Amino acid sequence: MKRTDVIVVGAGPAGLMLAGELRLGGVDVAVHDRLPAPAGESRALGFNRRAAESLDQRGLLSRLGEFRWGPMGHFGGVRFDLGMLDEDHSGVLGLSQARTEAALGGWLDDLGVPVRRSREVTGLRQTPDGVVVSFTGPDGPGEETARYVVGCDGAGSTVRGLAGVPTRVWEPTRGMFTAEITGAAPRPRPIGERLPGGRMVVCTPVGAGRCRIVVHDPDLPARPEPGALTFAQVADAWRRLTGESIDDADCQWLWACGNAAALAGEYRRGRVFLAGDAA
Ligand SMILES: Cc1cc2nc3c(=O)[nH]c(=O)nc-3n(C[C@H](O)[C@H](O)[C@H](O)COP(=O)(O)OP(=O)(O)OC[C@H]3O[C@@H](n4cnc5c(N)ncnc54)[C@H](O)[C@@H]3O)c2cc1C
């Protein structure tokens, strides 16, 4: 059975960055991801100064292509103007997470780190000197042994569950719809516009004539099912809250979620670690 120093589960930004750092430290590392290809979704539209500095220290900013710098930030729709601070805290704005992941993926290629796709981790068994990882892949089920495993497999982390890490969960109280559209130009509201009754709408241009629409509304189900959402529902909610019609837009991507939160009770159990949203 093949044995690696570290298997990183998840080729999102956390897993890719970690794998590159481990490789630079001389570690034999491989990344497994269940998706056949990167998701290509815009998701996080930039990052703060500290993250930008970390990427710059590795020469990675130049791999990102064109992006904007700026001092404006927000947390949960509350605007921050970091330009009021003495030092420059400008961060990277308007950069799709898909481009960040592509840059990190190219870096791993250059470092010779394998990213094994269509590999879904389904089991972990800790032994005194390693972890046996079970997965399903293009050639069926398989196993690989590593000295350590890091779960960077996102908020719904399978690794966290398999390692038996207790997780505190805050149940959702409100839902949110997201769509990315072309062919319509609603008024930009990049950080979000608060509306009466705890409602909020966001419209962020994300390049190439595309913009991201987000609708927060206490009237939406707190546990929406992403697969059941239709663009007509998003367009209806947008019209109800803003008076603008996006009915004729082309929808590229739809997402629905609630404001649930979860926090792992431990970031390490034996030879299994958690990082990124998995933690
Ligand atoms: C619609 C949407 C909009 C968002 N907008 C923003 C935003 O504006 N700003 C912001 O800061 N953040 C935003 N986020 C959150 C941001 O995308 C995440 O915080 C970030 O992707 C977390 O990175 P990660 O590497 O920890 O995990 P992820 O990016 O979730 O990556 C996890 C990876 O693990 C893989 N995986 C999962 N299970 C397994 C398994 N069993 N075996 C193998 N592979 C597995 C998945 O395929 C995935 O590639 C958004 C997220 C979504 C969904």
Cα–Cα nearest to 276, from 18, 97, 84, 40? 18
Token pair listed for 192: 């979000």
β-pair partners for 29: 6
Q: ipTM score of the complex?
A: 0.98
Query: Three-state DSSP class for 133?
Result: strand
pLDDT of residue 207: 80
Pick the atom of ligand 1 nearest to 159's CA: 41
Mutate to test the pocket of ligand 1, among 21, 153, 178 (most ligand atoms within 8 A of CB): 153
The answer to whether residues 146 and 153 touch, using CB atoms and an 8 Å cutoff, is: no
What is the average pLDDT value for the chain, to the nearest integer? 93
pLDDT in tens, 124-171: 999 999 999 999 999 999 999 999 999 999 999 999 999 999 999 999
Question: Long-range contacts for 136-143 (Cβ within 8 Å, ≥24 apart)?
Answer: 143/1
180 lines ligand 1 (CB under 6 A): no
117 lines ligand 1 (CB under 6 A): no
Q: Distance between CA atoms of 16 and 211, rounded to whole angstroms?
A: 27
pLDDT of residue 1: 66
Angle, CA 43 vertex, CA 40 and CA 46 arms, to 5°:
110
pLDDT of residue 222: 79
Q: Distance between CA atoms of 276 and 279, rounded to whole angstroms?
A: 6
Higher pLDDT, 35 or 173: 35
Angle, CA 210 vertex, CA 207 and CA 214 arms, to 5°:
115
Ligand 1 geometric centre to CA of 195 (Å)? 28
Q: Structural domains in the chain?
A: 3-45+96-166+264-278 (3.50.50.60), 175-258 (3.30.70.2450)
Query: For the chain, how long is the longest CA-to-CA vector?
Result: 62
